[in-house]
Amino acid sequence: MTAQTVKKLPDLGPTKKLKLPKETERKLPNGLTVLAIRRPAVPLVEVRLRVPFGRANLARAALLSQTLFSGTAEKSTVEIAAELQSVGGGLSAGVDPDRLMISGNGLVSGLDRLLEVLAEVLTGAAFPADEVSTERSRLIDRIQVAQSQPSHLARVALLKRMYGKHPYAVQTPEADQVRAVRPAQIRALHGERLHPAGATLVLVGDINPERAIDAAEKALGTWNGGGKQADLPPVPELVPGPLTLVDRPSAVQSSLRMALPAVRRTHEDHAVLQLANLLFGGYFSSRWVENIREDKGYTYGPSSGIEHSEAGSALIVAAEVATEVTGPALLETFYELGRLASLPPKDEELEQARQYALGTLQLGMSTQSGLASLASTYAGSGLRLDYLAEHAARLAKATRDDVAAAAARYLAPSQAVTVLLGDASKVEQPLRALTAVERA
């Protein structure tokens, strides 16, 4: 280039100490835990209600979440929605194998109304036959569309390989199962499982925490405290074996998925494993992304991350790669996993990952919605946000040796469960050159 003065990268300013928001907490007599955090940045409030829902029937639970706001004895779907809207609010429900989550937000001036509507559906959702029928058809259509999405198909195949007979092995219902669900079954599931025991309500925003909790107690204090709980068995260990190849004829890309062992948030290896994952593929400036995207151009958005569920955690590696480079992309993935599991990382790449982990912790807490989701997620692991101080300290003191040991323990490619969805007629031979393959 031309003879310009070379400019030097400016140093960072002094690191600001991690400031954790104050969480105010009260456990109501009916078993509901309420957590409130004041962050007055904008005049809104964020709401997250997490109710344990493990082992619930998939089809019934999915339809319950889609019809929870579809009317009570007094109000129709439209009336409920209009009432929420009138205070700038919105609420929606979703389920996964661990919990039912109701999340939403609204103008903070409408918090009382938002909580009242929430209480009305929690105690009095009627699941009217007509509305259930509408939502059942919509859900069936959505399942049909999901089954044409490569990301969904790859995930279904991966979960099956990872979890065998564990309830996590299947996380989405089939259309026929949904078709068979009757309103009475949803009502029964509601009666059995939608209870405050073990549930956590998080409120974050321009609130006075004590008063917000009072409002929650007023609205939700009479929510029924009974109901049954279901414990999930711990997840089985991953059983590595041949790569599972799922045929998707004429796919122009292959969906590569791998699962590796991981530990819970409360485990002493959690922070070092987070760093090891970052070094491998957990952020853009990782070895794997720099290799298969920025050097080779095989893919657009490869990612690897640790998924924490109630019954266990796993490290999931995912990339969509061009069909013609499927073999080479798998080779580079094995190589980068193997390299990290076998050789210690360099100081500067560890420092870079450490700064990223610490910095993004700050970013994640800088919005009301981010803070609410974080508080709710941690509550789901039985943790409070003050745990982040401990976690940050662990991130700060992790050494190269610690990260190398974690990588050897968790990232070794020999332990991986691997699934690939793609055009088998084009990719099977290249894959067989690298590893044993079985057809799904």
Contacts with another protein in 110-169 (CB under 8 A)?
110, 131, 134, 137-138, 141-142, 144-145, 147-151
Question: Mask of contacts with another protein, 225-244, x by CB under 8 A?
Answer: --------------------
Stretch binding another protein (CB under 8 A), from 25-33, 54-62, 282-290, 376-384: 282-290
In the region spanning residues 71 to 90, those forming contacts with another protein, defined by CB under 8 A, are 77-82, 84-90
Write down the least CB distance from residue 39 to another protein, Å.
8
Write down the least CB distance from residue 154 to another protein, Å.
11
Dihedral angle over CA of 408, 410, 415, 421, nearest 10: -130
Distance CA 264, CA 67 (A): 33
In the region spanning residues 358 to 397, those forming contacts with another protein, defined by CB under 8 A, are 358-360, 362-363, 365-370
CA 109 to chain centre: 30
User: 285-322 burial string, b = 16+ CB within 10 Å, else e?
Assistant: ebbbbebbbeeeebbeebbbbbebbbbbbbbbbbbbbb
Contact 45, 207 (CB under 8 A): yes
Q: In one letter, which amino acid is 372? A: A
**290: contact with another protein by CB under 8 A:** yes
Write down the least CB distance from residue 249 to another protein, Å.
11
Two tokens at 199?
Answer: 């549930």
Contact 104, 372 (CB under 8 A): no
Q: How many CB atoms lie within 10 A of CB 6?
A: 6
Contact 209, 24 (CB under 8 A): yes
Task: Please give the helix or strand (H or E) that residue 255 lies within, else none.
Answer: strand 253-261
Within 343-367, where are the H helices? 347-364
In the region spanning residues 181 to 220, those forming contacts with another protein, defined by CB under 8 A, are none
In the region spanning residues 292 to 351, those forming contacts with another protein, defined by CB under 8 A, are 293-301, 320-322, 351
Write down the least CB distance from residue 289 to another protein, Å.
9
Q: Which lies closer to another protein via its Cβ, residue 10 or residue 268? A: 10
Stretch binding another protein (CB under 8 A), from 12-20, 30-38, 235-243, 399-407: 12-20
In the region spanning residues 396 to 435, those forming contacts with another protein, defined by CB under 8 A, are none
Residues 6 or more apart in contact with residue 390 via CB below 8 angstroms: none
In the region spanning residues 93 to 112, those forming contacts with another protein, defined by CB under 8 A, are 105-107, 109-110
Contact 288, 353 (CB under 8 A): no
Q: Which lies closer to another protein via its Cβ, residue 286 or residue 313? A: 286
Q: Which lies closer to another protein via its Cβ, residue 70 or residue 415? A: 70
Stretch binding another protein (CB under 8 A), from 6-14, 59-67, 182-190, 380-388: 6-14
Stretch binding another protein (CB under 8 A), from 37-45, 48-56, 185-193, 223-231: 37-45
